[in-house]
């Protein structure tokens, strides 16, 4: 048994780009509304242009425009911001060429709709993040793992990986189901700001110490709302 609270919420409207912090989020069987709805691809193919192959993608950010009635709304198309701060509308004809140029995608890029976040939400525990930082002797930012939810709970570091799959986790007033731990690709080893610097020691450490897992996936069949500051329990 454990208890704690939600400290951060994040949404990534475009896979591979930096995301946006939220105060609240609508979640349903498709995951967080507006999360990972767009992907970057080589033109005319299904080959992804992603952060592991083009880490400069993370120099770009995607965010939904604030709505007067709900600043965390996923209504409308996201706006893309390059590392220098210039904003691009999704339908701007110059966007693909500019994105390809700045991230080194020599074959060009296309932005296309995807299947979203596969109906799941990635939760990272602060205790495990702190222990990872202690083990490596430097701060490891949560942003490296592209979480949807960062929680602080009274669990020992890495204890979340011993939780039984299919068990219930309560976020706010809502029951979620633990799907599985998140198996990591090479992406966390790249700096999450697009500066194109790789931390191979971090990658090797995760493989050795946590069986190449960090964070857990949770799902819900219902349409619910979660907020920063909500209690959690499991």
- Are 56 and 69 found together in one domain? yes
Q: Name which residue leads in pLDDT, 73 or 225.
A: 225
Distance CA 83, CA 56 (A): 9
Domain-located, residue 208:
yes
Of 211, 171, 129, the C-alpha closest to 27 is 171
Indicate which CATH number applies to the domain containing 196: 2.40.33.20
Q: Flag whether pLDDT at 28 surpasses 70.
A: yes
Closest CA to 150 of 128, 117, 173: 128
Query: What is the structure's pLDDT at 108?
Result: 97
User: In terms of domains, do 92 and 106 share one?
Assistant: yes
| pLDDT surpasses 90 at 54 | yes
Closest CA to 205 of 184, 177, 230, 234: 184
The range of the structural domain enclosing residue 108 comes to: 33-113
- Indicate whether 156 and 63 sit together in one domain: no
**Of residues 209 and 40, which shows the higher confidence score?**
40
Sign of CA dihedral 160, 119, 183, 72: negative
pLDDT at 209 over 80: yes
- 196 and 125 assigned to the same domain: yes
Give the contacts of 60 (CB within 8 A, at least 6 positions apart): 14, 17, 18, 80, 81, 82, 83, 99, 102, 103, 194
108 and 123 together in one domain: no
> In this structure, is residue 195 part of a structural domain?
yes
pLDDT at 111: 97
Question: Are 124 and 224 contained in the same domain?
Answer: yes
pTM score, whole prediction: 0.94
pLDDT above 70 (res 71): no
Q: Are strands 224-227 and 31-32 parallel, antiparallel or unpaired?
A: unpaired
Residues whose CB is less than 8 angstroms from the CB of residue 26 and which lie 6 or more positions away in sequence, other chains included = 32, 33, 74, 223, 224, 225
How does pLDDT run across 160-206, given as a tens digit for each residue?
999 999 999 999 999 999 999 999 999 999 999 999 999 999 999 99
Within a domain: 54: yes
Q: Which residue has the tokens 């995607």?
A: 62
Residues 128 and 187 in one domain: yes
Helix (H, G, I), strand (E, B) or coil at 103: helix
Domain boundary among 113, 139, 169: 113
> For residue 141, is pLDDT > 80?
yes
**Torsion (CA) 37, 182, 198, 54 in degrees, nearest 10:** -30
Q: How many domains does the chain have?
A: 2
Q: Residue 94 pLDDT > 80, yes or no?
A: yes
Which of 81, 113, 145 is at the close of a domain? 113
Is pLDDT at 68 greater than 80 in this prediction? no
- Domain assignment present for residue 22? The answer is no
pLDDT confidence of residue 61: 96
Do 131 and 88 belong together in one domain?
no
- Residue 158 Rama label (left phi>0; alpha psi -120 to 50; beta): left
Find the range with the poorest average confidence among 65-74, 151-160, 185-194: 65-74
* 108 within some domain: yes
Contacts of 142 (CB under 8 A, 6+ apart): 8, 124, 126, 129, 150
Examine the domain organization and report whether 188 and 220 are in the same domain: yes
Residue finishing a domain among 113, 134, 165: 113
Identify the weakest region by mean pLDDT among 34-38, 82-86, 114-118, 193-197: 114-118
pLDDT at residue number 70: 67
What is the b/e burial string over 200-218, where b = at least 16 CB atoms within 10 angstroms of the residue's CB?
A: eebbebbeeebeebbbbbb
pLDDT at 124 over 70: yes
């Amino acid at each position: 048994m454990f208890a704690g609270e939600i400290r951060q919420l994040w949404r990534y409207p475009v896979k591979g780009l930096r995301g946006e912090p939220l105060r609240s989020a609508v979640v349903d069987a498709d995951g967080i509304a507006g999360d990972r709805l767009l992907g970057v691809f080589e033109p005319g193919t299904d080959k992804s242009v992603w952060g592991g192959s083009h880490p400069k993608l993370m120099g770009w950010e995607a965010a939904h425009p604030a709505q007067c009635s709900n600043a965390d709304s996923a209504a409308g198309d996201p706006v893309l911001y390059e590392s220098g701060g210039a904003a691009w509308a999704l339908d701007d004809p110059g966007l693909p060429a500019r994105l390809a140029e700045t991230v080194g995608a020599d074959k060009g890029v296309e932005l296309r709709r995807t299947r979203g976040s596969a109906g799941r939400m990635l939760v990272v525990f602060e205790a495990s993040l702190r222990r990872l930082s202690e083990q490596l002797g430097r701060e490891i930012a949560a942003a490296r793992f592209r979480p949807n939810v960062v929680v602080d709970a009274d669990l020992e570091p890495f204890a979340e990986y011993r939780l039984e799959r299919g068990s219930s986790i309560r976020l706010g007033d809502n029951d979620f189901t633990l799907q599985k731990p998140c198996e990591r690709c090479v992406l966390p080893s790249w700096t999450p700001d697009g500066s194109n610097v790789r931390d191979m020691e971090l990658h090797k450490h995760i493989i050795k110490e946590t069986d190449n897992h960090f964070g857990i996936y949770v799902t819900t069949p219902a349409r619910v709302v979660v907020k920063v500051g909500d209690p959690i329990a499991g």
